[in-house]
């Protein structure tokens, strides 16, 4: 039995993976909020899927895998399969969000969307593990695999519930911190289920070294995250201005009931003088 090291670089990779999961969750929840509040949710649902499925889940997974090593064995990754796992994470999150946002009955849409999203996230994880290329035979403990599936479904359902019921910034931050723990818990539970034994061949594995993927990963994630931050920031400013406009008091109660307002007058504008009473 070969020794597995999930913290090859210490606590740096777990801390970074948790941070990325929290950032992706915050952006995903805010995008989902605007999808619920807007008249055309399609674009916001895609943005939420990229933020939550891409940054919050897949980037967390890949960052954690940078700290994974098998003692005495070189580990590489098959790039097409690795990218396919990223696509799966984004697509299943988009499907789950679409079911919940557009569903008419929460009691049906929430469990269905959570199950699809959770099983899709677990599929992403194990497809990413299948992308490993090394001179070792990999086996999995089915009990821990099943536990990781349960964690993934529960975490996905909780994320969708947060998306439906939480609007404020403190609530969003708290939900993102919980979601980050859940996603990381699912990942490391799945990793704990893995065992490696000496393979029958010692040839150098194909694929790419994980450190070779680090630079393009950092560049891509940084650009996508900055774009999402700008997009969400502009939407938040617009929402705040609209809310302030709705709270602005009106001059006449009758007009307030009708939803209209007196036109505002500029400072120094001419106002008609009241007529003087005729002398008797």
Q: What radius of gyration do the chain's Cα atoms show?
A: 26
Tens digit of each residue's pLDDT, the chain (280 residues): 788 888 887 888 899 999 999 999 899 888 888 888 777 788 899 999 999 889 889 989 888 888 888 888 888 888 888 889 989 989 999 998 889 888 778 889 999 988 998 888 888 889 988 888 888 888 899 999 999 999 989 988 888 888 788 777 888 888 888 888 888 988 999 999 998 887 665 556 667 777 777 778 878 888 988 998 898 888 888 888 877 887 776 555 555 555 555 454 444 444 555 555 555 5
CA 274 to chain centre: 62
Q: For residue 196, give Cα distances in angstroms to 7, 79, 113, 128, 157.
A: 16, 21, 34, 16, 32
Q: For residue 174, give Cα distances in angstroms to 47, 48, 167, 192.
A: 21, 18, 11, 27
- Answer whether 221's CB lies under 8 Å from 56's CB: no
Q: For residue 207, give Cα distances in angstroms to 63, 84, 132, 204, 213.
A: 18, 15, 8, 10, 11
Q: Going by C-beta distance under 8 Å and a sequence separation of 6 or more, which residues neighbour residue 236?
A: 30
- The CA distance from 24 to 228, in Å, is 9
Q: For residue 133, give Cα distances in angstroms to 3, 15, 79, 104, 207.
A: 17, 25, 10, 45, 7
28: which 2 tokens?
Answer: 């995903």
- The CA distance from 22 to 265, in Å, is 47
Q: Tell me which residue of 83, 21, 88 sits closest to 56, measured CA to CA.
A: 21
What pLDDT, on a 0 to 100 scale, did the predictor assign at position 257?
Answer: 54
What pLDDT, on a 0 to 100 scale, did the predictor assign at position 262?
Answer: 47
């Amino acid at each position: 039995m070969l020794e597995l090291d999930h913290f090859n670089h210490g606590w740096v990779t777990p801390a970074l993976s948790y941070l990325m999961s929290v950032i992706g969750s915050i952006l995903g929840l805010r995008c989902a909020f605007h999808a619920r509040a807007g008249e055309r949710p399609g674009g916001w649902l895609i943005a939420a899927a990229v933020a939550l499925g891409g940054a919050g889940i897949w980037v967390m997974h890949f960052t954690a895998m940078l700290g994974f090593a098998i003692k005495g064995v070189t580990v590489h990754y098959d790039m097409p399969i690795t990218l396919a796992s990223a696509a799966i994470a984004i697509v299943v999150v988009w499907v789950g969000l679409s079911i919940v946002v557009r569903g008419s009955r929460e009691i049906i849409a929430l469990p269905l969307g959570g199950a699809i999203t959770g099983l899709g996230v677990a599929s992403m994880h194990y497809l990413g593990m299948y992308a490993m290329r090394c001179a070792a035979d990999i086996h999995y403990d089915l009990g821990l695999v099943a536990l990781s599936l349960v964690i993934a479904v529960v975490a996905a359902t909780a994320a969708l519930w947060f998306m439906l019921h939480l609007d404020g910034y403190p609530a969003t931050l708290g939900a993102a911190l919980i979601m980050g723990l859940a996603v990381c818990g699912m990942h490391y539970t799945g990793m704990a289920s893995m065992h490696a034994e000496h393979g029958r061949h010692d040839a150098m594995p194909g694929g790419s070294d994980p450190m070779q993927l680090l630079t393009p990963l950092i560049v891509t994630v940084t650009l996508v995250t900055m774009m999402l931050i700008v997009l969400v920031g502009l939407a938040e400013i617009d929402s705040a201005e609209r809310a302030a406009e709705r709270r602005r008091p009106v001059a006449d109660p009758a007009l307030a009931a009708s939803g209209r307002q007196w036109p505002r007058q500029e400072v120094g504008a001419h106002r008609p003088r009241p007529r003087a009473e005729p002398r008797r």
